[in-house]
Each structure stands twice: as C-alpha cells, then as structure tokens.
A and B are shown apart, each in its own frame.
Chain A
C-alpha cells in the first residue's frame, strides 16, 4: 500500500517537453485514472512511475521516499500492459508466478499462490495453457493475475481494456473495480476512454498537451469543469459550446438574454457550454431558441436530437425517455441556466458561486 507523490515532475526528450510540472498527491488505496487524448503524455507519466522511463526533473516519491532513480524491480509496483505482455513460452501458471520465480520463492508457495490467484480470476482450468491458446479476455486476466500475485505497493494499468471487444470491456471493467475494492491497493489507470475513467476513478486526472488540466472526482469534472477542454472531454455526448456575448447581468445568445445567477459576473464570457442533457425541448413557439430537428435517434432510454438552431448552428439535445420528435420537426429549446458553463477567451470556465451550485 502506498502514497504516491509527484512534485513538479517533468519529462523532456531533448528540447521537447512532453510533461511539464506535474503535481499529484495520490493517497494510499486511491484509484486514480489518467485520461486524455492520444499524445497527451498519460502513458509516459505512467511509465515514469513504473520506472521504465527516466524522469527529467522534479521528485517522485513513494511513501515519502524519493524513487526517481530506483530501478523498476525495486519499486515494488506491478503493471498491466496494454499488450498484456505475457511470456509466450511460459504456461499460464508460470506467467503468473514469474515474479516469485525471479525472487526465488519456494515452488510449493508459488504453486499455492498461483492457484489462489487463478481461482480468483476464474483461470483455474487454464493454468497449463500457453498464452496463444487463450482468448483476449483470458489473456487480460492472466496479465492481472501476474500483477496480483506479487501483492505490490501499487498497481499500474496502461489502457488494459483497449484490445477487448465492447461486451468484454464492460465485464473486465467491473472486475477491475471489484479487484480494487477487494485489495484496497493504490491503483493508477491510464485510458483514453472517458466511460472507464468516470466509472472506475476515485479521482480523474485530465491531461492535455503535457499539462494537467484538472484533477477531481468524476462528478466534479462533469459538473464543474475547469476549462473548455475538460468540459468537452468529459461527458458523452459532448458538451455543446456556442459563442455568446458577455455582459454584466447575463449573456446574450442568438439575440435572447440569459441570466445566469449562479455565475455572478459574466462580462468576460465568450462561449457558453451546455451539455445535451441540460437542454429542455418545448413547443416551437415557447422556447428561448428556435430549432429544426435534423436527425433524431431513438435509443429507448434516451432520445438524441441533432438540431439546427436558428442564429447559432448545430446543437445536440438529449432528452430522457422517448419523445415523439421526428426529423424535420420544429422545436423550441430552453437551456437550463443552472447547468450552463461559461468560458472566457482563454478557455477557462467562470467559477460558480458555490452556494448556489449546491
């Protein structure tokens, strides 16, 4: 079990800065998800924590001990690779027990621990197989078993589910969540899939362009994104962002005035962000905005409407349940003011006055 701290950690390749001043304090037993688009540096950060990639600057600490230059084998951290990285010439049991083999543990002890881990992961019948005789999900489990068996201080996951099909991904996601509950170990998980991030994380770290954009619980990121990038990255379907005119008493959107009491002074507003699920559909002549439904998707639980809004352009609206809208229908739209986000010219979100947001 471990508390992991990163103080001003940097990574650069020559003159190229890949990660700048990363500060993170990960509590013992916390499940942290690093998320961001490809190339944001999230995998590099994970590999730096693992010790597979040298740290260019700053301090990396585990339980208060500086670990920058400690070899991976001495960090006592287990990692599950995106490619699984199973040893192809070893059977499942030997793959899982490899760390104990290296440590020189007795064969008896190794056997019982492997059997226990295989039991937990539902691999008991497969221990004699070679990796090539396993399905993707089974390989994934073996890779996890290899990590569990060591009882390490922390677990690292590098996009572990990205090679699985959708159904299996959901199943393995649950399994990882259960594993975390059971072991209570510190886990750091890298993904570009925001659903994985939102469902697994205690806290999410959003990375973009080598900087941390925001750190917070899934709900914090959803409800109070720090900037436009986080706002659009978290949440599916993506938040609508439309240009507005700022003003002291509210904003002007397609000729209509919208007061946003929870945001205080909105004179710096340049754009409005509103999630598709925070737009209400009303009768055509009653809404604040006039729109034409372009495409309507009936998903059963929800209805997605891709609308063309007069004076604004395309916006997406998600309504809970089934509504009888059809493509070509005229709609009135109302933005829920309390769920609106306002961005200044540099993309940062105007802070909510917290008393009202609560």
Chain B
C-alpha cells in the first residue's frame, strides 16, 4: 500500500520539469533585461538574439547614473511610492478595522460603492482626473500623484486589511478590555502587533503598484524634474533611436527598491503569527 502511494520517479521528474518551464518562462524577460543592460552598445544589434553576450560592460549603468536625470526620477518615484504606501495603508487599516469590527449605518452601501470603483477601467476617468487636477493647479506636482494613487488603491487595500483583521479573534480584544484596556489600548497592544503581516503585505502591494504606475504619471507630469521613473524611462526613446542599453540599465536599477522592500517586509508576511491565541 505505501509503495502505491509513493510517487513514481517519473512523476517527480515531470513535476520539476513543469516547474522549470514555468520559471524559465517567468524569468526570461528579467534575464533579457539584465542581458541587454550589460551588453556593450556595439553588440546589441550585431549579436541580436544570442542568449549570452560575448562581452560584458557596466558602461550603461555608469552613463545612466552620472549623465542622465535618472537619479532625479528615481528619487521622485521613491517619494511618490512611499508616500502613497504610507497614506493608503494608514487609511485602509483604519477603514478595514471599522469594517471588520463595527456595525454602522450604511456599511453595506459603502462596501458596495468601494467595489464598484474597482470595476471601471482607469482609462475612462483619465480625462476628468486631469481636469480636476489642473483646476486645482496641481499639475506637475508629485503630491497630485500621491493623492490619485491613494484614491485608487484604498478600496483594494481596505478589503485586504479587513480580511487580516477578520482573522484576528475578537476574543483577544475582549480579553484585553476585560483586562482593563480601552479599545484603543487593545488595538495598539494586542491587535496591532498581530496585524503586522497584513500591514506589511498592504504596504508592499501599494508600493509596487505606485512604483510601476505609468498612465497617470504620464498625463499629470510633463516637467522633467517632477517625472517619476516609468515616465523618465521614455526619455531614453529619442526621435531617431532607442538607447536600449541605458534603458535596460535604468530598468535594472528600478528593480532594486522593490526587491529591497520585499526583503524587508517578507519576515512580516510569515503566516501563523496568531497560532496559539485560541484553542490549538
């Protein structure tokens, strides 16, 4: 019987082969990005689709960092993404807690409206948003991007946070209140530490969404010194040519903050923090 249950070697090989196929498929564009970034300009077209370049250089990175506005774009993006992530997570955590714990008039309606906002393609509202932002004189400001991104991310982030709060037993807060805490103390001392994974996940999600957003940044920002990184990438496209090497080098550098961010929050993403709270 156990022999029958044991996987045959062929099945194991097939499983790993499938995983490998998927990995190659998913990571190949990333590889190509890095490959072009380190290929000397002269070889980009002559070697074409050759998988491994015959020479490797860091010139593209040097040029991007020292001779373009890349660092300014990068800083702008960082500012916008961190700002959006912070504001969104704060608001979403508060809203998610309220949805999870309180009953109030209009709760269902509010949830429905928030869902509806998620159903429209963004393209539809670009014109009105542009109009609003220009009317209040916020074109070409990074704050306008934070405001717009926050507005778009709050519904999803709220649902995300709500599900994390729902996962924390109500008993814990009640026990804290019986132990003499106010609701706020219970929130701060008991619920908050247990919600860290949720906060981490929400921060990460919103940060990456804001980091890679192009459409609104393109519409609302036209001045070079307020450009975010995705918009700035387009400056590598000139009238007669595309500077592939530098563009890819900039792309590689743009991956760094996302990776750092996830390395930083991944320990909060570990599940099972609430195990042991209630019956095992």
A positions within 8 Å CB-CB of B: 50-52, 71-73, 77-79, 81, 83-89, 98-99, 102-103, 130-136, 139, 146, 150, 163
Contact = CB atoms under 8 A, between A and B. Distances in A.
9 contacts: A51-B177, A52-B174, A83-B279, A85-B175, A88-B172, A89-B273, A103-B180, A130-B276, A146-B179
Contacts of A84: 277-279
Interface in B256-280: 273-280
Interface centre among B169, B177, B179, B279 (most CB of A within 10 A): B179
B280 A73 contact: no
Contact of A73 (B172, B181, B275, B279): B181
A88 B175 contact: no
A84 B172 CA distance: 9
A99 B193 contact: no
B178 A131 contact: no
A77 B278 contact: no
Interface in B161-190: 169, 171-172, 174-182, 185, 189-190
B221 interface: no
B142 interface: no
A161 B176 CA distance: 21
Contacts of A51: 177-178
B179 A89 contact: no
B273 A98 contact: no
B37 interface: no
A4 to B, nearest CB: 16
Interface of B: 169, 171-172, 174-182, 185, 189-190, 193-194, 273-280
A146 B169 CA distance: 18
A72 B274 CA distance: 24
A52 B275 contact: no
B278 A85 contact: yes
A79 B194 contact: no
B157 to A, nearest CB: 23
Contacts of B275: 88, 132
Contact of A132 (B169, B175, B194, B276): B276
A134 B178 contact: no
B194 A88 contact: yes
Given A81-B171, A81-B174, A85-B174, A102 B179 contact: yes
Give the 3 A-B residue pairs with the shortest CB-CB distance, closest first.
A132-B276, A83-B278, A131-B276
Contact of B277 (A86, A102, A133): A86
Contacts of A71: 177
A305 B99 CA distance: 56
B181 A88 contact: no
B276 A163 contact: no
Contacts of A102: 176, 179-181, 185, 189
Given A79-B175, A81-B174, A81-B175, A88 B180 contact: no
A72 B186 CA distance: 12
Nearest to B274: A88
Nearest to A50: B178
